Structure 1
Amino acid sequence: MDEQTLIGALLGLLEGLTEFIPVSSTAHLLLAGHFLGFQSTGRTFEVLIQLGAVLAILSVYFTRLTTLAMQLPSSAKARRFVFSILLAFLPAAVIGVIAHDFIKTVLFETPLLICIVLILGGFVLMAVDRLKREPIYTDVMDYPPSLAFKIGLFQCLAMIPGTSRSGSTIAGALLMGTDKRSAAEFSFFLAMPTMAGAFAYDLYKNYALLSFDDVTTITVGFIMAFISGVFVVRGLLDFVSRHGFMVFAWWRIIVGTAGLVGLWLT
């Protein structure tokens, strides 16, 4: 295995471990790539390996998704839930298409901004985790479409690397009256169309730029993201139900601070 492929495997492992927890997988990939000297063609690697994480959710939630699909013709509740997920996905889809080039060429190339956002997001997550309020919603199937759409607006904050897609959706959900477990689970469901859409659009925009070496590195990263993502999806809901999000808030602050020190030293 050559150095480029090895780095791709390590970054894929990092993607799967961080995609579904509120620490910003994109920030971790971009900072790790920066300090390892890894530069993917058109910054496609960091987006395309997310499909591995999407498949991790699909594999863990396969039975539940199949049951949901079978209920669609007869269950208004199931149809409302699917509609809510699509409605929550809509804002990020629109902004992602409009701001795609700016995100990839400016925000992805600003490690100082990423470190600062990681730290600030850590303090925000810490404050949200400490909120003492009785949840109104404890089951994702009971989220009304209006709530889902508002959570989707929060997800748009993740266009800034370092914010975290899962972190922004979870924080938004908690602020609007959900419990921690269902907020994390809704983030799982919302990740499916969001990350699949980002994968498809980025591949459409950049497929002509990719070489055989790029495809090999992306494939290895994709496989590692899938394997590590499965373990995270299986254990995260129980973890946050018992411990909340404080450990992730501190992790963001530590990584962001370490990144600032590394940038200063180099």
Structure 2
Amino acid sequence: MDWFYAIIYGIVEGITEFLPVSSTGHLIVAGNLMGVPWPKEIKDTFEVVIQGGAILAVLVFYWRDFVQQARVIGHDQPTQRLWLGVVVACIPALILGVLFADAIKANLFRPSVVAWALIVGGVLMWVIESRKAPPVIHSLKGIGVGRAFLIGAAQCLALLWPGFSRSASSILGGMIMGLDRPTATQFSFYLGIPTLGGAALIDFIQSRALLAQIGLLNVVLGAAVSFVVAYLAIGWLLRFVSHNSFKGFAVYRVVVGVLILLLVASGRLANGGL
């Protein structure tokens, strides 16, 4: 059954990684509901490593942009500021990850924690979308290093509170900083490349022997499924945010959060560490 779990994990990761609904939260709950028999260390590592497939989807989706930026970055200051902003935005998550990641995994990766993160994030999303202030930034090159750093700081909420969603925190942070929805969403994609890609690569290198217990081919399978599904999800989300608000996602988060709490209360969903 390991191959089946790998496929389901890959589908869930691919759909939810870039949508503002928390991939970590959905993976935790999906693994719990399926009764995946893997040890906690393997599940945690597998969930991080298959994020590499979703990040590869970003690289493929934007490959023309990246090639063009690589050609001009040596002399084009707006492109230099964009990527300097991406690097600077990763610093808060890097620091907090080193200090608290292990403690958070050990103590907060529980369905009830995820549920409340979904609910609170959904309410916050609705409030931000209801603001009257119009966006002032309509392109990636207009973000600037200062705004990028603050968006990176907002992204840390997802690290500290499993289930809040890295995508949601960075997109909402961008919108608070004056970015329009498509620009905030695209910057969230860019920001995920070093943030998630680095974590996936480090976990894979450090835990190859651990992952071998379920078969490295199953790891590749999960990442491959994640890549395909994430590529489709990226295109869909960009089209969606061009014409719609995030209020639908806000409602979804609250509904799913309440459903998880009800499942935990009824005993149908275990609430212990996974």
Same-fold call, TM > 0.5? Answer: yes
1:200 to partner: Cα distance: 2.3
Q: How does 1:36-75 map to 2 (within 5 A)?
A: 36-41=34-39, 42=41, 43-75=44-76
1:166 to partner: Cα distance: 0.7
Whether the aligned pair in 2 keeps the contact of 1:93 and 1:197 (CA below 8 Å) is no
Q: Which string of whole-angstrom CA distances, capped at 9 and with x for unpartnered residues, describes residues 144-183 of structure 1?
A: 1000000000001111211100100111111121111101
In 2, Cα distance between equivalents of 1:40 and 1:221: 15
Q: How does 1:22-101 map to 2 (within 5 A)?
A: 22-41=20-39, 42=41, 43-101=44-102
Match of 1:202 in 2: 203
Q: Structure 1: which 5+ residue stretches go unaligned?
A: none
1:201 to partner: Cα distance: 2.8
The number of residues matched between the two structures is: 263
In 2, Cα distance between equivalents of 1:4 and 1:203: 18
Match of 1:136 in 2: 136
Q: Structure 2: which 5+ residue stretches go unaligned?
A: 268-274
Match of 1:167 in 2: 168
Whether the aligned pair in 2 keeps the contact of 1:20 and 1:232 (CA below 8 Å) is yes
1:56 to partner: Cα distance: 0.5
In 2, Cα distance between equivalents of 1:226 and 1:39: 24
In 2, Cα distance between equivalents of 1:211 and 1:203: 11
1:212 to partner: Cα distance: 4.3
Match of 2:115 in 1: 115
Match of 1:11 in 2: 9
- Give the percent of matched residue pairs that are identical in Structure 1 and Structure 2: 35
> For the structure 1 residues 139 and 171, does the alpha-carbon distance in structure 2 shift closer, same or farther, using more than 3 Å as the test?
same
Whether the aligned pair in 1 keeps the contact of 2:46 and 2:211 (CA below 8 Å) is no
In 2, Cα distance between equivalents of 1:39 and 1:237: 36
1:206 to partner: Cα distance: 3.0
Of the structure 1 ranges 239-248 and 50-59, higher mean CA displacement relative to structure 2 is found in 239-248
Match of 2:272 in 1: none
Partner-residue secondary structure (3-state), 1:243: coil
In 2, Cα distance between equivalents of 1:224 and 1:167: 22
In 2, Cα distance between equivalents of 1:166 and 1:202: 20
User: What is the RMSD of the two structures over their aligned residues, measured on CA atoms?
Assistant: 1.4
In 1, Cα distance between equivalents of 2:203 and 2:212: 15
Letter in 2 for 1:54: I
1:103 to partner: Cα distance: 2.3
TM-score w.r.t. the length of structure 1 is: 0.95
Match of 2:158 in 1: 158
Q: Which string of whole-angstrom CA distances, capped at 9 and with x for unpartnered residues, describes residues 193-233 of structure 1?
A: 11111112323443342324242332221111100001111
> For the structure 1 residues 136 and 48, does the alpha-carbon distance in structure 2 shift closer, same or farther, using more than 3 Å as the test?
same
